[in-house]
Amino acid sequence: QKEVEQDPGPLSVPEGAIVSLNCTYSNSAFQYFMWYRQYSRKGPELLMYTYSSGNKEDGRFTAQVDKSSKYISLFIRDSQPSDSATYLCAISGGGSNYKLTFGKGTLLTVNP
Amino acid sequence: DVKVTQSSRYLVKRTGEKVFLECVQDMDHENMFWYRQDPGLGLRLIYFSYDVKMKEKGDIPEGYSVSREKKERFSLILESASTNQTSMYLCASGTVYEQYFGPGTRLTVT
């Protein structure tokens, strides 16, 4: 079983839609959960991170972690064409373990 | 503003050549990372460094080496480039939960 699984999509939605992006993971020791956004021909940029379980909100973006199900989600409200990008989840064990394990990314297109 | 820069955006090399990819960060981070990104395989960690002259292998270190002589600079070396090393190479620096990436170097080995 892979450490992190992410549906690659592609996902195409109309402007203004609510978008849900998801990852599952296998190792219950993971403690840090991140979402990165990557525009075409650019490096990934950190959107937000969550430590342990719970929700975190930043503007139109909400990250959610359910450790009991080993499931993480990113919700985008009122999606905009500028949100069109590949979204990568990343997970880490934390502490002295600096290694991030990435999902393969979901390609999102928001149509005007 | 956080900055990670990579020496080249595009690079074309021949099989067997020695290739150096350079990365510089200006955030005084102790940790630096080299990844490669391939379609269908995602981002994979090659090597990382948690201090000057310190390094650890990532998931796919074979065919690569690294050098960290100064805190702000982390180099990836392909000792003898092969066609299966054609890829996008991404450098990052940061902490366990907050890594900042450079723009990437697209390397083609012919």
Q: What is the pLDDT of residue B2?
A: 67
Cβ contact, residue pair A46, B98, below 8 Å:
yes
Closest CB from A45, A92, A99 relative to B101: A45
* A20-78 confidence digits (pLDDT tens): 999 999 988 888 899 999 999 899 999 999 988 889 999 999 999 999 999 999 999 99
Q: What is the pLDDT of residue B18?
A: 97
DSSP annotation of B63: T
Enclosing H/E stretch for B68? strand B64-70
Residue with tokens 């940029």: A45
* B49-100 confidence digits (pLDDT tens): 999 989 999 989 999 999 999 999 999 999 999 999 999 999 999 987 789 9
Closest CB from B31, B43, B44 relative to A98: B31
Q: What is the pLDDT of residue A94?
A: 61
Cβ contact, residue pair B43, A102, below 8 Å:
yes
With CA atoms as reference, report the closest residue to B6 among A68, A96, B14, B19: B19
Q: Is the pLDDT of residue A99 over 70?
A: yes
Q: What is the pLDDT of residue A96?
A: 57
Test the B interface: residue of A42, A48, A98 with most B CBs within 10 Å: A98
CB < 8 Å from B in window 50-69 of A: 51
Higher pLDDT, A100 or B76: B76
Q: Which residues contact B62 (CB under 8 A, 6 or more apart)?
A: none
Cβ contact, residue pair A49, B100, below 8 Å:
no
3-state secondary structure chain A: CCCEEECCCCEEEECCCCEEEEEEECCCCCCEEEEEEECCCCCCEEEEEEECCEEEEECCEEEEEECCCCEEEEEECCCCHHHCEEEEEEEEEECCEEEEEECCCEEEEEEC
Higher pLDDT, B27 or B1: B27
Q: What is the pLDDT of residue A97?
A: 62
Cβ contact, residue pair B96, A95, below 8 Å:
yes
